């Protein structure tokens, strides 16, 4: 395997920047190319056929940019489009998604009987988390709640305030999530509201941050000899607005330049 790596990361918008941020932190700032398909967001209300098409087209773009490892940093895309990528991409490209590492991690945890999942409508309808976790650990009870307001709320910068806490509380108080011992943040936007989720549970429930778990899983699979020197990363979006530029800084944790590149 080549010592030279370049990590491609894509999402329906800019939520996947939370994954990019953790990968940068964990792997020592490897060269990354990010693509946010802001022209088609959110993927949660798109058909499976559309999502598969978007995933394949973006993956081809990242491969053409020289990416050796590609992370599908969107839960809905991971649920509906990842298997098609595995079948279609016959090269030496290494493919990752944001669901399987979390499933493996949660299924192996001790002292868990009932866990909850909050996610977009698309991810919740797919039942990907309950199905895959139960396949790994039949003793776990898994309950999911769709939280369609959270991603757009976060993308618009409405979090860490009284309004956002009220909306978050309304979802977490659903009967499906009563008496859980762990909660999966099943959308790459949700790490930005992790502190508010912990506040609701008074730190009595384990919170599973998918961005951190995925970055750690990726670091294990990429040998230390493959890690490269620090390199400038590139961030593309299919549509550009000033609001995305401002939000991107919050998701990635530092100022970045978004480059408009409509591959469609």
pLDDT tens by residue, the chain, 264 residues: 345 789 999 999 999 999 999 999 999 888 999 999 999 988 888 999 999 999 999 999 999 999 999 999 999 999 999 999 999 987 789 999 999 999 999 999 998 999 999 999 999 999 999 999 999 999 999 999 999 999 989 988 888 899 999 999 999 999 999 999 999 999 999 999 999 999 999 999 999 999 999 999 999 988 644 555 556 789 999 999 888 898 899 999 999 999 999 999
Options 3.30.160.40, 3.40.50.700, 1.20.1250.20, 3.40.50.1860; which CATH number does 100-210 get?
3.40.50.1860
- Spatial CA neighbour of 233 closest among 15, 94, 25, 56: 25
Structural tokens at position 3: 């010592």
Find out whether 58 and 84 touch, Cβ atoms under 8 Å.
no
- Spatial CA neighbour of 14 closest among 157, 126, 123: 157
> Looking at the annotation, which residues are catalytic?
74, 187
Half-sphere exposure of 180 (CA within 13 A, CB side): 26
Rounding to the nearest 10 degrees, give the CA dihedral for residues 119, 120, 123, 126.
110
Q: Which CATH class is domain 7-97+213-260?
A: alpha beta
CATH 3.40.50.1860 region(s) of the chain?
Answer: 7-97+213-260, 100-210
pTM, full prediction: 0.92
φ, ψ for residue 216, nearest 5 deg: -65, -40
């Amino acid at each position: 395997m080549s010592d030279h790596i370049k990590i491609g990361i894509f999402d329906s918008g800019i939520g996947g920047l939370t994954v990019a941020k953790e990968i940068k932190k964990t792997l020592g700032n490897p060269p990354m190319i990010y693509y946010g398909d802001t022209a088609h967001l959110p993927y949660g209300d798109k058909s499976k056929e559309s999502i598969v098409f978007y995933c394949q087209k973006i993956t081809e773009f990242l491969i053409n940019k020289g990416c050796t490892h590609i992370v599908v940093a969107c839960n809905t895309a991971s649920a509906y489009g990842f298997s098609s990528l595995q079948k279609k991409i016959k090269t030496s490209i290494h493919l990752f998604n944001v669901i399987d590492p979390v499933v493996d991690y949660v299924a192996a945890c001790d002292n868990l009987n009932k866990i909850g999942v909050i996610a977009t409508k698309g991810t919740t309808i797919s039942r990907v988390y309950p199905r895959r976790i139960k396949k790994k650990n039949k003793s776990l009870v898994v309950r999911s709640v769709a939280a369609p307001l959270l991603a757009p709320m976060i993308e618009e910068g409405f979090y860490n305030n009284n309004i956002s806490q009220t909306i978050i509380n309304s979802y977490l108080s659903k009967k499906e999530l009563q008496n859980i011992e762990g909660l999966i943040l099943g959308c790459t936007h949700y790490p930005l509201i992790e502190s508010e989720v912990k506040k609701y549970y008074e730190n009595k429930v384990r919170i599973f941050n998918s961005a951190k778990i995925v970055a750690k899983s990726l670091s294990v699979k990429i040998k230390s000899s493959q890690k490269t020197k620090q390199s400038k990363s590139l961030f593309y979006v299919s549509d550009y607005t000033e609001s995305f530029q401002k939000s991107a800084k919050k998701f990635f944790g530092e100022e970045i330049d978004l480059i408009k590149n409509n591959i469609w």
